[in-house]
């Protein structure tokens, strides 16, 4: 089973106000993902609020999720942190727990250079032996991965794939072409950014790293399978049906919307980590209305 292709589902990490992970609630979130047979689970991604958690809490979350999945689905674990030595520890923890790979974003306070990010990947791959996913998420890290830098990092032994952010439909073909030209032949390129991913998959992207799939795996699997099979009409039909959810994501942020959805569906009592606040009541009502209308699964 390859974690570099298909649908990767990214759940939230339920925690209390002190940052203590609610491991039973997390297991209730990941169990349906494994049962649905998503291609991988993206634990402690941006939706999983990894920067808000201590090393110990990340380890508790990883152990609980991997125990629940029990080998049915590969689990990718976020290992980004400010200091390289912290990332080394987190990568070793993830590997010891049985993670298939580490999601490595260049977290920073002082803006990083391309050489610094390259060196980060080289050190983590070389010192830990954990396969790595290049985690390109400018919206959270404010670091720009050029195609040339992606190509350099992709040639580091142990770097397995790229998780990029899908641009608008009119730009995706060129975006993908530039990255294909920079990386070694056969190097997988996947995309996040749920509302733009359908066109990215149809253009030749290998994987969808999905926020929505962390709660609605069946609906997202159907779209993924159609797009990867080249059934553009069906993929676009399914994507169009999800447009009300994408509109909420774009207006309020996918993180806040998914927390509201978890609350609406009664899965667990989880609030986003402060200073992020839950959606106001009127927005919560909009989320509930959309979920009812779409009847997602």
pLDDT at 142 over 70: yes
Question: In this predicted structure, what is the pLDDT of residue 243?
Answer: 97
- Average pLDDT for 7-33: 96
In a domain, 269, yes or no: no
pLDDT in tens, 257-271: 999 999 999 999 899
* Average pLDDT, integer, range 57-72: 98
pLDDT (mean) for 189-207: 98
Report CA-CA distances (Å) from 295 to 12, 242, 291: 20, 10, 6
Q: Residue 58 has what pLDDT?
A: 98
pLDDT at 190 over 60: yes
Question: How many C-beta atoms lie closer than 10 Å to residue 138's C-beta?
Answer: 11
Instruction: State the number of CA atoms in the 13 A half-sphere of 130 facing the CB.
Output: 30
Arithmetic mean of pLDDT, 149-158: 98
pLDDT at 56 over 60: yes
Residue 82 pLDDT grade (very low, low, confident, very high; cuts 50, 70, 90): very high
What was the pLDDT predicted at 32?
Answer: 98
Alpha-carbon distance of 164 to 168, in angstroms, equals 13
In a domain, 297, yes or no: no
What is the value of pTM for the model shown? Answer: 0.97
Residues 6+ apart with CB under 8 A from 25: 14, 267, 268, 269, 270
Q: Is residue 95 part of a domain?
A: yes
CATH of the domain at 109: 3.20.20.70
pLDDT for 50 equals 97
Question: Is residue 295 domain-resident?
Answer: no
CB 223 within 8 A of CB 200: no
User: Residues 169-175: what's their mean pLDDT?
Assistant: 97
**Would residue 284 count as lying in a domain?**
no
The whole-number pLDDT of residue 296 equals: 84
**Residue 40 pLDDT > 60, yes or no?**
yes
- Residue 2 is predicted with a pLDDT of 84
Q: Please report, rounded to a whole number, the percentage of residues in the chain having pLDDT higher than 70.
A: 100
The per-residue pLDDT for 253 is: 97
Domain count, the chain: 1
pLDDT for 67 equals 98
Q: Which domain holds residue 74?
A: 6-228
What pLDDT does residue 33 have?
A: 98
Residue 293 in this model has a pLDDT that exceeds 60: yes
What is the structure's pLDDT at 219? 97
pLDDT at 1 over 70: no
253 domain-assigned: no
Position 191 in a domain? yes
Q: How far is CA 44 from CA 13, 94, 228, 238, 253, in A?
A: 7, 11, 26, 27, 17
Per the domain annotation, does 246 fall within a domain? no
Average pLDDT (72-99) is 98
Q: Per-residue confidence at 215, pLDDT binned at 50, 70, 90?
A: very high
Q: What's the pLDDT band for 128 if we cut at 50, 70, 90?
A: very high
Q: What does the pLDDT average to over 228-233?
A: 98
């Amino acid at each position: 089973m390859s974690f570099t292709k298909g649908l990767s589902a990214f759940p939230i990490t339920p925690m209390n106000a002190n940052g203590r992970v609610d491991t039973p609630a997390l297991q209730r979130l990941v169990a349906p993902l494994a049962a649905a047979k998503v291609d991988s689970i993206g634990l402690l991604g941006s939706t999983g609020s990894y920067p808000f958690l201590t090393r110990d809490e990340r380890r508790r979350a990883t152990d609980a999720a991997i125990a629940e999945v029990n080998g049915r689905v590969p689990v990718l674990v976020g290992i980004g942190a400010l200091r390289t030595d912290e990332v080394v520890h987190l990568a070793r923890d993830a590997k010891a727990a049985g993670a298939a790979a580490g999601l490595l974003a260049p977290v920073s306070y002082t803006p990083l250079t391309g050489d610094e990010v390259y060196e980060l990947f080289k050190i983590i791959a070389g010192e830990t032996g954990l396969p790595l996913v290049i985690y390109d998420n400018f919206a959270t890290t404010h670091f720009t991965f050029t195609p040339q830098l992606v190509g350099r990092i992709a040639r580091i032994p142990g770097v397995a794939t790229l998780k990029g952010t899908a641009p608008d439909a009119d730009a995706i073909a060129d975006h993908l072409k530039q990255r294909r030209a920079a990386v070694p032949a056969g190097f997988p390129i996947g995309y996040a950014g749920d509302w733009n991913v359908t066109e990215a998959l149809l253009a030749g992207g290998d994987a969808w790293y999905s926020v929505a799939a962390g709660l609605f795996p069946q609906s997202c699997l159907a779209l993924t399978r159609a797009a990867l099979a080249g059934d553009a009409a069906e993929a676009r039909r399914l994507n169009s049906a999800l447009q009300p959810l994408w509109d909420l994501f774009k207006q309020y942020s996918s993180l806040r919307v998914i927390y509201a959805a978890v609350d609406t569906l009664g899965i667990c009592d989880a609030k986003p980590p402060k200073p992020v606040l839950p959606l106001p009541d009127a927005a919560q009502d909009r989320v509930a209305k959309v979920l009812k209308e779409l009847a997602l699964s």
